[in-house]
């Protein structure tokens, strides 16, 4: 018999290394004379869209189409430290460094532009890679032309920024810390499942998610993180386990180590909560890790809802379901 169940989980995640660990990211922006904007970051894009996010932030601040922005510096000898792509920190840390570097460059554009137009900052318009006096749209110069002028003066339209917020080491005895993590992300998920009481197999039907993202720099990529993270969490909830017996892994291959496949993926509906209220770029928060975290308890709670059995160890395999049902019957 198939029994339906529904479970909820609300989670939080303190992101960044926190705990007083020195955590920072350095980024550099340069407007070059060859119609390019170089965005220098050593941050790793592990597939989640980090570099795309950085380009969108730079394009927004620099008011220019994202196609002009080129990533450089994916090399220890070409860029300074951006910190790790971990701890759900890159959008917040590198995003802020990129935003600051871009704002510095924007300041330089206004500074040198105002000299060129013999005017002052408020009387200039800067957009789409062009600078002109507000009262005369006919006479324009491009960012690249300005870069050339600045170069002849022995300077560059280039700036580097480091974002380096402070956290505090927790007390050794009590764990108390005035600021332990830079910020927290919250998420609530409802997961619908069906439990086959004859086979013990759990099918995940629907996943409903509300994610406190602050501001989605790239909404599609945020939805991608929700879906990818949740599916990885469902793997942990239902099937994944590296079995190590007496120090020896007995399933070191993908035949015997099960992960969700395309057939295991449920329907998703998600809401992004965008209060734009964090200290991240444009109010954004980190969401990489939080998207995985609610799946295990939401599934366990749905199992209880479906068959009245409380499972306290993972993964919740068909064997565990069948054994629990039998115990309950006895």
- Positions in 282-321 near other proteins (CB under 8 A): 282, 285, 288-289, 292-294, 296-298, 300-301, 304, 310, 312-315
Residue 326, phi then psi, degrees to nearest 5: -65, -45
Q: Binding to other proteins (CB under 8 A): which residues in 72-91?
A: 74-77, 80-87
The answer to whether residues 123 and 105 touch, using CB atoms and an 8 Å cutoff, is: no
Q: Is 261 in the site for other proteins (CB under 8 A)?
A: no
**Shortest distance (Å) from residue 9 CB to other proteins:** 4
Q: Is 68 in the site for other proteins (CB under 8 A)?
A: no
Q: Is 273 in the site for other proteins (CB under 8 A)?
A: yes
Residue 264, phi then psi, degrees to nearest 5: -95, 0
Residues with Cβ within 8 Å of 2's Cβ and at least 6 positions away in sequence, in order, are 194, 195, 196, 197
Window of 28-36, 107-115, 117-125, 252-260 that interacts with other proteins by CB under 8 A? 252-260
N-term to C-term CA, the chain: 19
**Shortest distance (Å) from residue 198 CB to other proteins:** 25
Point out the catalytic residue in the list 148, 203, 241, 289. 289
Judged by beta carbon, residue 152 or residue 255, the one nearer other proteins is 255
Alpha-carbon span 306 to 11, nearest angstrom: 22
**Shortest distance (Å) from residue 303 CB to other proteins:** 10
Judged by beta carbon, residue 39 or residue 147, the one nearer other proteins is 39
Q: Binding to other proteins (CB under 8 A): which residues in 94-113?
A: none
Alpha-carbon span 223 to 321, nearest angstrom: 31
Window of 27-35, 157-165, 193-201, 273-281 that interacts with other proteins by CB under 8 A? 273-281
Q: Binding to other proteins (CB under 8 A): which residues in 128-147?
A: none
**Shortest distance (Å) from residue 271 CB to other proteins:** 5
**289 included as an active-site residue:** yes
Judged by beta carbon, residue 14 or residue 318, the one nearer other proteins is 14
**Shortest distance (Å) from residue 110 CB to other proteins:** 19
Q: Is 59 in the site for other proteins (CB under 8 A)?
A: yes
Name the token pair of 67.
Answer: 């196609």
Q: Is 11 in the site for other proteins (CB under 8 A)?
A: yes
Cβ neighbours around 51 below 10 Å, total: 18
Q: Binding to other proteins (CB under 8 A): which residues in 180-219?
A: 180-181, 183-184, 186-190, 192, 206, 208-212, 214-219
Window of 110-118, 139-147, 152-160, 230-238 that interacts with other proteins by CB under 8 A? 230-238
Burial 230-248 (b: 16+ CB within 10 A, else e): bbbbbbbbbbbeeeeeeee
Residues with Cβ within 8 Å of 321's Cβ and at least 6 positions away in sequence, in order, are 195, 197, 200, 201, 202, 303, 307, 309, 311
Name the token pair of 26.
Answer: 């350095």
Cβ neighbours around 1 below 10 Å, total: 7
Q: Binding to other proteins (CB under 8 A): which residues in 33-52?
A: 42, 44-47, 49, 51-52
Q: Find out whether the peptide bond into 263 is cis, omega within 30 degrees of 0.
A: no
**Shortest distance (Å) from residue 58 CB to other proteins:** 8
- Interaxial angle between packed helices 295-307 and 318-329, expressed in degrees from 0 to 180 and rounded to the nearest 10: 40
Q: Which residues are catalytic?
A: 289
């Amino acid at each position: 018999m198939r029994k339906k169940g529904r479970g909820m989980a609300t989670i939080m995640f303190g992101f960044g290394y926190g705990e007083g660990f020195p955590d920072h990211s350095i980024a550099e922006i340069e407007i070059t004379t060859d119609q390019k904007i170089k965005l220098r970051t050593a941050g790793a894009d592990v597939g989640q869209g980090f570099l795309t996010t950085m380009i969108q932030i730079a394009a927004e601040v620099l008011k220019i189409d994202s196609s002009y922005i080129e990533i450089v510096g994916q090399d220890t000898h070409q860029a300074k430290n951006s910190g790790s792509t971990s701890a759900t920190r890159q959008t917040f840390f590198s995003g802020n460094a990129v935003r600051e570097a871009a704002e510095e460059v924007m300041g330089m554009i206004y500074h040198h532009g105002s000299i060129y137009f013999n005017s002052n900052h408020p009387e200039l318009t800067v957009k789409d890679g062009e600078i002109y006096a507000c009262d005369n749209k006919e006479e324009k110069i491009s960012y690249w032309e300005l870069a050339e002028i600045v170069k002849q003066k022995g300077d560059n339209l280039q700036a580097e920024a480091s974002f380096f917020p402070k956290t505090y080491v927790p007390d050794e005895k009590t764990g108390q810390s005035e600021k332990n993590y830079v910020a927290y992300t919250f998420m609530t998920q409802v997961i619908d499942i069906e439990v086959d009481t004859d086979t013990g197999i759990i099918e995940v039907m629907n996943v409903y998610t509300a994610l406190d993202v602050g501001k989605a720099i790239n909404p599609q990529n945020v939805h991608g993180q929700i879906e990818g993270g949740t599916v990885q969490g469902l793997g942990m909830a239902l099937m994944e386990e590296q079995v190590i017996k007496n120090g020896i892994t007995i399933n070191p291959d993908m035949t015997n180590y099960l992960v969700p496949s395309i057939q295991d993926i449920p329907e998703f509906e998600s809401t992004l909560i965008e209060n734009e209220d964090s200290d991240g770029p444009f109010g954004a928060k980190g969401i990489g890790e939080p998207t995985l975290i609610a799946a295990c308890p939401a599934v366990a709670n749905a199992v209880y809802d479906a068959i009245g059995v409380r499972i306290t160890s993972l993964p919740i395999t068909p064997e565990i379901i069948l054994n629990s049902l039998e115990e309950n019957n006895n």
